Structure 1
Amino acid sequence: RVWGQITGKTFGSSNFRSALENGVLLCDLINKLKPGIIRRVNRLSTPMAGLDNVNVFLRACGKLGLNHSQLFHPGDLQDISNRVTVRCEETTRRLKNVLITIYWLGRKAQADSAYDGPQLNFKAFEGLLGVALSKVVFRSADVRKLL
């Protein structure tokens, strides 16, 4: 909910990972938190454009003061579901990394006295992120409740 309140946009997908993999929503989010921090968002629907957007988003997070340990890896948003050797735990770990970055970005925004927008539900995030990886199941509907 908060995501839509901040960006004015919806996920457009029932899958959390696929909604974010092109990086457009991430770039739109951070530009709402700090207008102009990302000057150009690549809206082409190619994997390279998506990777470019995700990297630009992560650099912008660094400019806002997030450190390397608070950032997910660009590959965490890649679709690995069709790989034979990937276990569910790996997909869960990758999505958890993305949520951790969103959590810290939300914390940073709320600490900024210039930000007066919607607030993340930190208790819900902390509860979700504190659960053992093997028991965490990320569904878009669950994530939307947090955002």
Structure 2
Amino acid sequence: GEWNTTVRVSSTTLLFYASFVRLLSSIRPGLVKKINRLPTPIAGLDNLSVFLRGCEELGLKGSQLFDPGDLQDTSIRPTSCRVDCVLITIYWLGRAANSCTSYNGPTLDLKEFEGLLHTASVLSFLFV
């Protein structure tokens, strides 16, 4: 029923948040001390916080980071705006990974983000 679907989505969301932290660990081993594996919303927020702090340690600026609320926002703001904020962080993290000597994994095709970056500058003007 509906309850099981809600639990499944919640579990998937928590795994998604933990995957952000694992991504940081693959870019710079040792950057993340611990992934919170508890199946609770607080654990998910903890992992998001660890991810965002780790991004800053890799050189990303606050303006390049999404807000945790972008992943939980239920306002009338279009979903595409919220997703774009997350993708912009992934773009900047990809650039940081490319310049990180300890990382030799797959790389993002940063050209795929060009339209998003233009849209982001327009959105930041409209929604700030």
Tell me whether the two structures share a fold, i.e. TM-score over 0.5.
yes
Q: What's the CA shift string for 1:58-99, capped at 9, x where partnerless?
A: 00111111111011111111152xxxxx3362x221111111
Residue number among 99, 109, 112 corresponding to 1:121 in the alignment: 109
Aligned ranges 1:82-121 → 2 under 5 Å = 86-87=75-76, 89=78, 91-121=79-109
In structure 2, how many angstroms separate the alpha carbons of the residues matched to 1:66 and 1:26? Answer: 15
Query: Normalising to structure 2: TM-score of the pair?
Result: 0.75
In 2 relative to 1, CA 52–22 (structure 1 residues): closer, same or farther, beyond 3 Å? Answer: farther
> In terms of Rg, which structure is larger?
2
Give the aligned partner of residue 68 of structure 1. 62
Give the letter for the 1:55 counterpart.
S
In structure 1, how many angstroms separate the alpha carbons of the residues matched to 2:80 and 2:107? Answer: 25
Unaligned residue ranges in structure 1 (runs of 5+):
1-14, 81-85, 135-147
Give the letter for the 1:107 counterpart.
R
Give the letter for the 1:45 counterpart.
P
Aligned ranges 1:1-147 → 2 under 5 Å = 19=13, 23-78=17-72, 80=74, 86-87=75-76, 89=78, 91-131=79-119
Q: Displacement of 1:131 after TM fit?
A: 4.4
For the 8 Å contact 1:22–1:53, the answer to whether it is kept is: no
Number of matched pairs: 112
In structure 1, how many angstroms separate the alpha carbons of the residues matched to 2:71 and 2:26? Answer: 21
In structure 1, how many angstroms separate the alpha carbons of the residues matched to 2:70 and 2:30? Answer: 25
For the 8 Å contact 2:27–2:100, the answer to whether it is kept is: no
Query: Normalising to structure 1: TM-score of the pair?
Result: 0.66
Give the letter for the 1:87 counterpart.
I
SS at 2:30 equivalent: coil
